[in-house]
Amino acid sequence: MSVRDRLPGPVRHGRRGDSIAVEAEALGFHEVAGNDHLSTQRFVRKAWSAPPDYFEPLMMLATIAAKTSVVRLATGILVLPMREPVLLAKQVATLDQISGGRVTLAVAAGGYRDEFEAVAPDLADASRTRLMAEGIEALRILFGQRRSTYEGRYRRFCDVESYPKPVQSPLPIFSGGNATGAIRRAGSNVRVGCRPSSVRTK
């Protein structure tokens, strides 16, 4: 079982998310998770007069980590194309360390192109699918290598020594989404498990 921030409309409970997580842990829930929005989408602006409180999920999960001991801390999901890999790797590794290895990292391309273009206008013409692939590759390098260099079409860094590493080694990266190619991308990132022949990848 999991607890996720999936409330309709502009209502959010970020200010008491830590108490909800503590109660969820006491009730035996497996994980708590928060979604990821760095800006308000156009459809939300049109539908509601007041903007929602979109609390930053990694900051919230760090707060929750300090008040819990067992429940897993999940990103459900992080919009990877909006996140710079070196900083994200540092944030996720730090969270995994302070929580004793309880991070579940799930990423996707994001459902709202307008939000992505607002946050990253220099990448407005970029392929979010390609940004996803580069982001996952970059994170794996940063989590796994002592000194990391990466040269992609959109993401680049050189001789980065980033410590601490996550407690979980390797830290699994779950790839989600419902756009064309999302199942193929998720399948290509599977290391353990099954790939049902009935799943369509085109």
d(CA 187, CA 101): 24
d(CA 22, CA 132): 32
| pTM of the predicted structure, to 2 decimals | 0.84
What superfamily does domain 16-189 belong to in CATH? Luciferase-like domain (3.20.20.30)
> In the structure encoding, which two tokens stand for residue 45, read together?
């602006």
Quick one: DSSP state of residue 156?
E
Of 63, 89, 74, 109, residue with least CA distance to 166: 89
Under 8 Å between Cβ of 154 and 122? no
Residue extents of the structural domains in the chain: 16-189
Quick: pLDDT tens for 81-122: 999 999 999 999 999 999 999 999 999 999 999 999 999 999
Residues 53-88 as b or e (16 or more Cβ within 10 Å = b): ebbebbebbbebbeebeebbbbbbbbbbbbbebbeb
Q: How far apart are the first and last CA of the chain?
A: 30
Rg (CA), the chain: 17
Per-residue confidence (pLDDT) for residue 182, from 0 to 100:
66
Per-residue confidence (pLDDT) for residue 193, from 0 to 100:
37
Per-residue confidence (pLDDT) for residue 202, from 0 to 100:
40
Residue 193, CA atoms < 13 Å, CB-side half-sphere: 11
